[in-house]
Amino acid sequence: MIALACLGPLRVSLFAKDPPPDLAKRVAHRESETAGERRQYAYTQSVRLQEIDGRGSQTGEYREVREVIFSPTGDRTERFAGQPVSRLTNLVMTPEDFADIRNIQPFILTEDQLRIYEVQYKGEEPIGDRDCWVLSIRPRQILSGQRLFDGLLWVGQDDFSVIRSEGKAVPEVVTSKQENLFPRFTTIRRQVNGFWFPAVTSADDTLFFRRAPIREKLTIRYDDYRKFGSDTTVTFEKAAP
C-alpha cells in the first residue's frame, strides 16, 4: 500500500495439552488437504478498503468483487462482478496489495511451503469452544519478489485444522522514493463440508508513512462456496469468533 499494528498478548492456558512433536508437519498436511479441497469450489470474494482520518471519518474507499468460477471445461478462473470502484485519496493499490489479497490474507500453510517458514509452538488458547494450539510462523528468508506471511496460527487440537490466523504480509518495501506498507490483519475460517475455509479477513491499522500516518480498514469476505461438478449439499458452520 503506497501513499502520495500490533498483535495483542497471547493468553496461554496453565493446563496446556502437550502437542505432538511433529505438530508443524501434521498442520501442513491438513492444510494441504484443505487447499486441495478448496480448489474444487467456486466462491465470491469481496474487498473493501477504507481510508480513515483522525476524527474517524472515511476519506476514501476502494471496492471490488471477484467471482472464482469454473469454465465449462472445468478450468478454475476468476472474473470481476462489476467494475472495481476506487475513490482513494491518499493510498494507492499496488501489485503487492492484490497479490496479498489473493494469497496472504487467506493464507494456507501447505506442505510445499513448510520448508520456507520457521515454525514455533507458542502455547494453547481456546477459540470459542475449540481447544487450539498456537503456532508462530515467520519466513526463514525472503527472496526478491516473494510475498510471505508472518504471524500466528490457531490450530484445532482435534484435527490439526487452522481456524484463525493473525499477522501481516511481508516484506514492506521502503526506499528513498517509495513506501509500500501493509496492515496487520486477522482471518477467521469456517467449516465447509468438514474443512476450514477462509470466511472473513479484517484489518484496522495505522500505517506510518514518512509524510503522515494513515489509518486504513480492510474487510475481505469469502462467500457462497459451491463445489464444482458435485451434487453434494454444501453445509456451513459459524466462523470461529
Judged against a pLDDT cut of 80, whether residue 34 lies above it is answered with yes
CATH of the domain at 116: 2.50.20
Report long-range pairs for 170-177 (Cβ below 8 Å, ≥24 apart): 170/139, 170/142, 171/142, 173/96
For residue 124, what are the CA distances in angstroms to 8, 17, 135? Answer: 15, 7, 9
Within-domain flag for 103? yes
160 is a domain residue: yes
Structural domain boundaries, residue 154: 21-227
pTM of this structure:
0.87
In a domain, 59, yes or no: yes
pLDDT tens for residues 35-89? 999 999 999 999 999 999 989 999 999 999 999 999 887 888 999 999 999 999 9
148 within 8 A of 154, measured Cβ to Cβ: no
Q: Decide: 124 and 17 in contact? Cβ < 8 Å.
A: yes
Task: List CB contacts of 58: < 8 A, sequence separation 6 or more.
Answer: 50, 51, 52
Q: Which three cell numbers stand for residue 114?
A: 513448510
Complete DSSP assignment for 179-235: EE---EEEEEEEEETTEEEEEEEEEEEEEE-SS-EEEEEEEEEEEEEEETT--PPP-
163, 156 contact by CB (below 8 A): yes
The three three-digit cell numbers of residue 15, written as one number: 493446563
| Residue 197 placed within a domain | yes
Q: What pLDDT, on a 0 to 100 scale, did the predictor assign at position 2?
A: 62
Residue 12 lies in a domain: no
Distance separating alpha carbons of residues 108 and 157, to the nearest angstrom: 17
Count of domains in the chain?
1
On the question of pLDDT at 234 being above 50, the answer is no
Rounded mean pLDDT of 178-186?
Answer: 95
pLDDT mean across residues, the chain: 90
Q: Which amino acid is at 200?
A: V
pLDDT confidence of residue 152: 98
The answer to whether residue 232 sits within a structural domain is no
Task: Please indicate, yes or no, if residue 63 is contained in any of the structural domains.
Answer: yes
Per-residue pLDDT tens over the stretch 116-141: 999 999 999 999 999 999 999 999 99
- Determine the distance from the C-alpha atom of residue 70 to the mean position of all C-alpha atoms in its chain, rounded to a whole number: 23
